[in-house]
């Protein structure tokens, strides 16, 4: 059974610092990995989707890398801002199955 | 305005009562999902449907039921058989296999 882990569960950084968020998974037979953002009391918003054949994906200040063989993905957020404060979740989609497995998320606070 | 509408935002019920959560989408997506989110845990899949009039159990289907009579609608009923129903419920859609998930803003259910 796929296990997805996000460590740390929470972190706090001063504004302007780069953020590094980690996601690890136990089964490398994945089709893609997705990163989501969740604001308090809201649904999830898709940030980036990396196909298993890709090494990284970029969108603005966000960059996500994927190392399928070691079961790891990292989300980098450059020059953090208070508006980046949220919970970030990763999820892996297996080959030949619709069921995504989600991590519990990392809650980020960016201090002004 | 395309999107996913979940209603109500907050729901309060007494133990022993069934309750139905609404999820409507106008994205014309084939696949729809129901997830449950509890504090400190990843999202857990309750039910999913890839086409009208067909749905499958997820990892925690016991005590829940769904229907998919229309492409746009995927209501979830939380029955009295669900032992711990208090949680945040999220509905999601997907355009095609392996594409990003889109989420509604959730329904917070409290059962006392």
pLDDT in tens, B5-29: 999 999 999 999 999 999 999 999 9
The stretches in chain A having pLDDT less than 70 are none
pLDDT of residue A108: 98
pLDDT of residue B2: 63
Alpha-helix residue ranges (DSSP H) falling in chain A? none
Contact yes or no for B40 and A100 at CB 8 A: no
Q: Calculate mean pLDDT across residues B56-67.
A: 96
Residue B82 CA to residue A63 CA, distance in Å, equals: 40
Tokens in use for A5? Answer: 């882990």
Contact yes or no for B42 and A31 at CB 8 A: no
- The mean of the pLDDT values for chain B is 94
Contact yes or no for B40 and A104 at CB 8 A: yes
Q: How many CB atoms lie within 10 A of CB B112?
A: 7
Q: Which chain A positions have a beta carbon within 8 Å of B98's beta carbon?
A: 31-32, 51, 93
Tokens in use for A92? Answer: 């892996």
pLDDT of residue A23: 98
Q: How many CB atoms lie within 10 A of CB A77?
A: 23
* B18 close to B78: Cβ distance less than 8 angstroms: yes
Q: How many CB atoms lie within 10 A of CB A29?
A: 13
Q: What is the DSSP letter of B70?
A: B
pLDDT of residue B1: 53
């Amino acid at each position: 059974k796929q296990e997805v882990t996000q460590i740390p569960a929470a972190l706090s950084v001063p504004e302007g610092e780069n953020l590094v968020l980690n996601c690890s998974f136990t089964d490398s037979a994945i089709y893609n990995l997705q990163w989501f953002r969740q604001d308090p009391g809201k649904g999830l918003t898709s940030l980036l989707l990396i196909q298993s054949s890709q090494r990284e994906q970029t969108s603005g200040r966000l960059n996500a890398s994927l190392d399928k063989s070691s079961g790891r993905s990292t989300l980098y957020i450059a020059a953090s801002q208070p508006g980046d404060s949220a919970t970030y979740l990763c999820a892996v989609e297996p080959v030949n199955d619709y069921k995504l497995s989600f991590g519990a998320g990392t809650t980020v606070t960016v201090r002004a | 305005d395309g999107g996913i509408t979940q209603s109500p935002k907050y729901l309060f019920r007494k133990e022993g009562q069934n309750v139905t959560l609404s999820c409507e989408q106008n994205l014309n997506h084939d696949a729809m999902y129901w997830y449950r989110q509890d504090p400190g845990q990843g999202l857990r899949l309750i039910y999913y449907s890839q086409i009208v009039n067909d749905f499958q159990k997820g990892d925690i289907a016991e005590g829940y039921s769904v229907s998919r009579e229309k492409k746009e609608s995927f209501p979830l009923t939380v029955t009295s058989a669900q032992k711990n129903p208090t949680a945040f419920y999220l509905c999601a859609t997907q355009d095609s296999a392996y594409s990003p998930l889109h989420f509604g803003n959730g329904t917070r259910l409290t059962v006392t």
